Amino acid sequence: MSPSVRLQEMIRVIRGARTQGEERGVIQRECAAIRAQFRQADNGTRSHNLAKLLYVHMLGYPAHFGQMECVRLIASPRYNEKRVGYLGAMMLLDEKQDASLLITNSIKNDLSHSSQYVQSLALCTLGCMGSAEMCRDLAPEIDRLLRASNSYIKKKAALCAVHIVRKVPELGELFTPASRSLLSEKNHGESVLICFAFLTSPAVQLSAPFCQSFCAYLFHSLLRLVMSGYSPEHNVAGISDPFLQVRILRLLRILGRNNDTASDAVNDLLAQVATNTDSSKTAGSAVLYETVLTVMDIKSESGLRVLAVNILGRFLLNNDRNIRYISMTSLQKIVQTDHNAVQRHRGTIVDCLKDQDASVKRRALELSLALVSAVNIRSLMKELLLFLSSCPPELRAHTTSGIFNAAERYAPSQRWHIDTILHVLTTAGGDVRDETVPNLIQLITTATELHCYTVHKLYRALITDISVQSLVQVACWCIGEYGDLLLRGECEETEPVQVAEDDVLDALEMVLQSHMSSPATRGFALTATMKLSTRITHNVDRIRSIVSIYGSCIDVELQQRAVEYNALFKKYDHMSFMRKIQHIFLMYLMMVCFLVLNYMSPQCDGCFFVSIVPPSVIVYEKNGVTLKLQTDKQTDTGMTITLTATNSTDRDITSLTLQAAVPKSVQLQMKAPSGDVIPAHGLGQVTQTVLLNNPNKVSLKMRVRVCYTSQDFVCQDTVQIDSFPSPAW
């Protein structure tokens, strides 16, 4: 390939390369030729060589040696060379490189050039890569061009001023006088008003009084856009300049926030925008969505808020999944404050649970859980349980957690509460949290009149399927506690089952011998077998035989339980049976109390279900978000901790993520969180379990990164944890 080859020919040769090595060879030869020609005197080919180098840069190859050539071409009096030079500066230079400072004087000269196209090149370059120092030096020139009569230059200058204000916020006051003239521009097809909205949006938080003085102009501009007829110059799908409408609505939202006077003035205008904008097109949906956000963010009237919720409800029927997603995201934010208005669209929201898109389905689940109340608990729970039976695996943990929380808060009766939890355990027992088993046991314990009903139902579930560990654990505990009610065969709440003593022991022995049973489940079954010795009369020897078998079990905890039970059988064999059991109970009760008082490791935690609240410490407290840490289990080399996040603000905290880091020698496993939305006013919490394995027994430390969204602001903090609370053992 000749060194003087044209750009089109070079592109053709590069695209014709069969391998990456061949392409690299072509580019290396061409770059060498370009570098050699850069060293020569001006032969009229500099702009062509730089254009070829820019194409090489677009392919990802080094092109930094062309930076000084950009500076030379920008200083050229020829327009075609100046154009390529400015393009090269925007692509090859940035504010971190010293070479960018060399073009400051050239940009300043070109800003005063007689040609509007040369001025445009300088404005675009400054607005693209101008550093803070360049912005300070050239800000007066931009302010001068904002007052120009040429709307083309005025538009470019406004866009450049946006960049300057973002780089150097204190320069925003410099452009205040010139901004007033932009408000009176009629030709918004030239995007002058768009530029004004872009310009004032970042500055409004810094200078609210200045922006409030323009409210009347903004109202007039937005009303004119909404009520005007068809205008081909700035029409998008039947909507008059939707980009400008969106920007003005955002500005009005900022002006009306925490301002009663501005909010009252905006209410009527927002109602006209909401009722006169067509939502059948994407452009109209964008305007309506910004209108809804504005209504919800200012102190608007109740009727206007209902209108905004109804607009979001119509979005749920849109065929575009993106529109459905943002609709449910917005409804999730306002469901606490406008619960009744959102409740009217419950049927549509529940239908979105059947959507094929995973993100839409997740949002529909979160919104459905937020809509549960004491009035609709039965009907809505049926839909959620139906969804649980077919939901994706990644949503099951969140679904079960939400159902449990809703059932605990709004259960119409204890029997309904128990039936719901058992249904969840049967459907998705492998995805429930660890605290589900003790919580259900506590619920069953307090429901005295339902003991017979519960033990019969759990016995049926146990002999049907023993693969769901959480369900099997609760069933074993219930049989051990209320086995006499099961053997009696009398139950008014459900059809009784005639069960013999051997049938019950066969079921427990099946759990003990199953390869699907975890060590914890076997512990429940062994303890239940031991408890049955107080409730049966003809199979005590069989119970003793079952217990003695596990005295040589390879599982240390199960073996210790069996050995202790056998020792109790032998030591107190001379007592009457009931006195023996009473003595055993008192002895174990004293043992548990002693272990609790000294925070020692339990060996009989599954025997009598003593409920103790683990101690916790607050590791993070900011912006109304509190993160507590508690140690649930601890061994010589391992630890299980739970992170619990609560929210005391008046708005939901969304997009919560917790990330943890530990020393390299420590193994960390984070379970799926119970959700990513923390309800407002402390009405709920988000928990996440962390498993730590410390085989080398190094000093344990952990760093947790907390990230969440609060009132449309993303917050991210990191906390260092150097000590952990002891478990409540």
Query: 429-438 pLDDT, tens per residue?
Result: 778 887 888 8
Pick from 606, 577, 594, 636: nearest CA to 518: 606
Q: In the predicted model, is pLDDT for residue 729 greater than 50? A: no
In the chain, the amino acid numbered 334 is I
- Checking if the pLDDT of 476 tops 90, the result is yes
Q: What's residue 191's pLDDT?
A: 43
- 538 within domain boundaries: yes
Which pair of tokens denotes residue 312?
A: 């979001």
Domain membership flag for residue 355: no
Residues 592 and 460 in one domain: yes
Same domain, 591 and 643: no
CA angle 479, 485, 488 (to 5 degrees): 125
For residue 187, what pLDDT is reported? 59
- Note whether residue 62 is domain-resident: no
pLDDT at 332: 87
Quick one: average pLDDT of 512-523?
89
CA-CA distance, 488 to 499, in Å (whole number)? 8
Query: Which among 374, 360, 370, 375 has a CA at the least distance from the CA of 325?
Result: 360
* Beta bridge mates, 645: 627, 686
Q: Which residues contact 575 (CB under 8 A, 6 or more apart)?
A: 583
pLDDT tens for 109-141 read: 999 999 999 999 999 999 888 888 888 999 999
**Residue 279 CB partners (closer than 8 Å, separation 6+):** 285, 288, 311, 314, 315
Q: Are residues 574 and 668 in the same domain?
A: no
Q: Are 270 and 304 in contact (CB under 8 A)?
A: yes
Dihedral through CA 369, CA 375, CA 380, CA 381, nearest 10? 80
Which range is least confidently modeled, 123-137, 207-221, 447-461? 207-221
Do 587 and 623 lie in one domain? The reply is no
Evaluate whether residue 564 is within a structural domain: yes
Share of the chain above pLDDT 90, in %: 16
Q: What amino acid occupies position 156?
A: K
Buried b (16+ CB within 10 A) or exposed e, 430-466: ebbbbebbebbbebbeebeebbbbbbbbbbebbbeeb
- 528 and 639 share a domain? no
What CATH code is carried by the domain that includes residue 716?
2.60.40.1230
Give the pLDDT of residue 601. Answer: 38
Between 533 and 442, residue with greater pLDDT: 442
Q: What is the dihedral of CA 187, 193, 194, 200, to 10 degrees?
A: 170
Reduced to 3 states (helix: H, G, I; strand: E, B; else coil), residue 653 is strand
Distances in whole angstroms, Cα of residue 586 to Cα of each of 579, 589, 665 = 11, 5, 44
Please name which of 641, 642, 677, 639 lies closest in space to residue 657, comparing C-alpha atoms: 677
Residues 574 and 652 in one domain: no
Do 715 and 578 lie in a common domain? Answer: no
Least confident of 17-26, 366-375, 587-596: 587-596
- pLDDT for the residue numbered 206: 43
Q: Which residues contact 28 (CB under 8 A, 6 or more apart)?
A: none
Least confident segment among 113-117, 260-264, 344-348, 526-530: 260-264
Mean pLDDT computed over 668-685: 87
| Euclidean distance between CA atoms 289 and 326, whole angstroms | 9
632 pLDDT exceeds 60? yes
What's the pLDDT score for residue 477? Answer: 92
Whether residue 579 contacts residue 664, with contact meaning beta carbons closer than 8 Å, is answered with: no
Is the pLDDT reported for residue 582 higher than 80? no
Structure tokens at 423: 């249904």
Tell me whether residue 382 is exposed, middle or buried, using C-beta atoms within 10 angstroms of its C-beta: 0 to 12, 13 to 18, 19 or more: exposed
Do 584 and 633 sit in the same domain of this protein? no
> Quick check: is 517 in a domain?
yes
Residue 139 or 171, more confident: 139
Classify residue 572: in a domain, yes or no. yes
Across the range 308-330, mean pLDDT stands at 89
User: Do 584 and 491 have their domain in common?
Assistant: yes
For residue range 336-361, list pLDDT tens digits in order.
888 888 888 889 899 999 888 889 99
What is the rounded CA–CA span in Å between residue 630 and residue 179? 56
| Domains of the chain: total | 2
Ranges 184-193, 469-478, 712-721: which has the least confidence: 184-193
* Residues 563 and 463 grouped into a single domain: yes
Q: Report yes or no on 6 lying in a domain.
A: no
Do 561 and 691 belong to one domain? no
Summarised one tens digit per residue, pLDDT across range 61-72 is 888 888 888 888
Give the burial string for 286-315 (b: 16+ CB within 10 Å, else e): bbbbbbbbbbbbbebeeebbbbbbebbbbb
What ranges make up the beta strands (E) of 42-95?
Answer: none
Mean pLDDT to the nearest integer, 673-692: 89
| Radius of gyration of the chain measured on its C-alpha atoms | 36
Q: State the average pLDDT over residues 197-211.
A: 50
Domain that holds residue 647: 616-721
The pLDDT of residue 656 = 92
Q: Where are the beta strands (DSSP E) in 88-204?
A: none
Cα–Cα distance measured from residue 728 to residue 548, given in angstroms and rounded to the nearest whole number:
30
Give CA 415 to chain center in angstroms.
35
Q: Which two tokens stand for residue 331?
A: 């409804």
Q: In this structure, is the dihedral angle defined by the CA atoms of residues 48, 49, 54 and 59, taken in order, positive or negative?
A: positive
Closest to 290 (Cα-Cα) out of 374, 166, 203, 201: 201
Is the pTM higher than 0.75? The answer reads no
Residue 75 in tokens? 């200083």
Query: Quick check: is 1 in a domain?
Result: no
Taking CA 647 as the corner, what is the angle to CA 715 and CA 670, rounded to the nearest 5 degrees? 70
In the predicted model, what is the mean pLDDT of residues 310-331? 89
Check if the beta carbon of residue 113 is closer than 8 Å to that of residue 75. no
* Last-in-domain residue among 548, 566, 597: 597
Q: Is the same domain home to 488 and 528?
A: yes
Residue among 201, 284, 302 nearest 245 (CA): 284
Q: Which DSSP string corresponds to 162-180?
A: HHHHHH-GGGGGGGHHHHH
